[in-house]
Chain A
């Protein structure tokens, strides 16, 4: 069954501003897990992303293996407890958006959480979409 989640995140990648605006769609199953309190602290994911980025910078991504203990924290770290849907969306932004979108200062907002119905359904000019503030 199609998942009609309430929110979307529209965002621009600061490193690729000439690309069309992107739209992030949360997975309902993941939102359910978040609202049930089954997520680890966000730093568990950041730690893995940092290790991976370091491996990429050093050109050893194809042979890269995560540290087993850090990797297992995704399941073993204490859960953060139930989140509201809005809190889950904020968590998702910090997990899935490129970190430079929200962690660095820019001269305009690089992302915006919007209601699903605010996203155009006509995709004829999809590659010309730009974010309005």
Chain B
């Protein structure tokens, strides 16, 4: 058996393939910070429970897959956070940046912060 070792994969044009294109985990409490990330250049603390993510490199199109989740921290706001929306900076999905994750309380939808918010964006191959 042989072991395949590589630091990156690319097509014949030199465009890299990433199994997971972008991912981020952030702590939305206190001074907001990034816990871990790959393929993103920054996050933006927009307001309570609302965070934007900017990708390091633009996707080729808007047909990428995305998901987000947040840790339940009932000591903050007394309710469970729920991901209510993921969208672009205005109303669209963008290839370059400004993907938004919005959290709300599961019972009232009022915006809420979480100690652990994770978003993953996967390239559509």
Residues of A within 8 A of B (CB): 1-5, 19-20, 22-30, 33, 45, 48-49, 52, 56, 61-62, 64-66, 68, 71-72, 74-76, 92, 95-96, 98, 116-117, 119-121, 123, 126-127
Contact = CB atoms under 8 A, between A and B. Distances in A.
A75 B14 CA distance: 7
Interface stretch (B29-37, B67-75, B78-86, B101-109): B29-37
Contacts, number: 135
Interface residues of B, number: 45
28 contacts: A3-B36, A19-B47, A20-B46, A22-B47, A24-B42, A25-B42, A25-B43, A26-B41, A28-B34, A29-B40, A30-B40, A45-B58, A48-B96, A52-B58, A56-B92, A61-B62, A61-B93, A61-B94, A64-B61, A68-B15, A71-B15, A74-B57, A96-B41, A98-B89, A119-B31, A120-B31, A126-B45, A126-B47
Contacts of A49: 58, 96-97
B60 A68 contact: yes
